[in-house]
Copies of this chain bind each other. A is one copy, B any other.
Amino acid sequence: MARDWTDPECPVARALDLVGDRWSLLVVRDAMDGARSFTEFQRRTGIARNILTDRLRRLTESGLLAQRTAPSGRRREYVLTDAGRDLFPVILTLRQWGERHAFDPGESHSTLVDLHGVPVPGLTPTGADGTRLDTDTTRVRKVATG
């Protein structure tokens, strides 16, 4: 179907072409938190039903979700694919940024914890030699133009 990428050689731009809208990543968030059915996604996100239909279809076409028959019965359900589950670090870093910069001190928010209930520590970019990386210590190497 020859997708029409915004910026074909930038992985960030391609990722955003697939999930860079207001709702897609919230759907993925809820899928990670156990949502499986149309109604459950709708209830959790509050998204309009026609838009939800569209997003579920798109995410399925892009290979982030798959539809399979539920184990119990005849209903169908949406489950994350490996590619969808691979968005975990993206959701996690968004969460961490949100906690730090989108809440006033004192405001409470939900927290991501491991199976023992211990809050998940922050994710810090580090280089091969263990040094911390940021905007000032990295740069984008453009692909060679054929």
Indicate whether A105 reaches chain B with its CB closer than 8 angstroms.
no
Most buried by B among A6, A10, A101: A101
Q: Contact check, A12 vs B25: say whether CB atoms are below 8 A apart.
A: yes
Which residues of chain A in 4-48 are interfacial with respect to chain B, using CB atoms and an 8 Å cutoff?
Answer: 6-7, 9-18, 20-22, 25-26, 29, 32-33, 45-46
Q: Contact check, B120 vs A125: say whether CB atoms are below 8 A apart.
A: yes
Q: How many copies does the complex hold?
A: 2
Q: Contact check, A127 vs B121: say whether CB atoms are below 8 A apart.
A: yes
Number of interface residues of A (CB under 8 A): 73
Q: Give the interface SS of chain A, mostly helix, strand, loop or mixed.
A: mixed
Q: Contact check, A144 vs B100: say whether CB atoms are below 8 A apart.
A: no
Most buried by B among A86, A90, A103, A123: A90
Residue of B nearest to A29 (CB): B12
